[in-house]
Amino acid sequence: MSDTVLSLVTLAARKHGGPKLATLTAYDATSARLADAAGVDLVLVGDSLGMVIQGAANTLGVSVDDVAYHTAAVARGLSRAVLMADLPFASYPDAASAFSSAARLIRAGAALVKLEGAGHVIGIVEHLVAREIPVCAHLGLTPQAVHRFGGFKVQARDAAAAARLKADALALQAAGACLLVLECVPAALAAEVTRSLEIPVIGIGAGADCDGQILVWHDLLGMSAPPRPRFVRDFLKGHDSIEAALGGYVAAVRDGGFPGAKEGYR
């Protein structure tokens, strides 16, 4: 594992010929340190903490205070990986609110923030980027819209929805997003979006053709409660330590062994 300190510039360069981006959530300094030592490139303090840390049924109760607290803790455990933090539900209804929320997370130690959706969010992305706050966009299954979707379901399976997602991805890139997360969309659609963009695309339940992959810490270590989504793989199984499991995940992302064909959607 290289000890080179990574940046948004070096991650962007990996779109063109570099190894795929191994991304993982973390919520505390110890987990961050282990992920960093294993070679994880990008660490996300996700609003998934509402489910895996706080025990809620979804992410909607997570506050900016919660994410800022965990971001500061994770930042103390990192020495080389890039740190990203989620803007939680209702923290970016307009440009001014988004800037205030995002600035708190940057001050806590994040290098960039992630926010979900398109529509009015496209203008918010442009607003943040113009004010020196890097942004990762998130399309497909956006957990903050769980009630509108009627649950955690695969998205963009019909032609109209796929066309909207492709148009939204291009619009978010044009607004200045430097990364895109695609969650729970058909693998063929994710591959098409990945080819169409100049920014790296990180998949979760989006097939093997994205520029990188992300998993939740607890899912990677087999700690999540069943039923588990098909894109989840227990990397601790077959390994004798958390360190070995993390190293196995990073290696599998980079050599294309994860995700497999059965770990995606059609």
Catalytic residue selected from 183, 192, 198, 263: 183
Centroid of chain to Cα 21: 11
Assigned token pair, 188: 């063929």
Contact predicate 77/38, CB 8 Å? no
Helix axes 95-108, 64-77, angle to 10 degrees: 30
Q: Where are the beta strands (DSSP E) in 82-141?
A: 82-86, 112-116, 135-140
Assigned token pair, 38: 């294993």
Catalytic residue check, 116:
no
Pairing status of strand 135-140 against strand 112-116: parallel
Centroid of chain to Cα 217: 12
Measured distance between the N- and C-terminal CA atoms of the chain, rounded to whole angstroms:
34
The conformation of residue 255, written as its DSSP 8-state character, comes to: T
- Torsion sign (Cα): 24, 25, 30, 32: positive
Q: How far apart are CA 218 and CA 24, in angstroms?
A: 10
Q: How far apart are CA 120 and CA 55, in angstroms?
A: 30
Q: How far apart are CA 131 and CA 164, in angstroms?
A: 28
Contact predicate 86/49, CB 8 Å? no
- Token look-up 């059609």 returns 266
Q: Which residues are catalytic?
A: 183
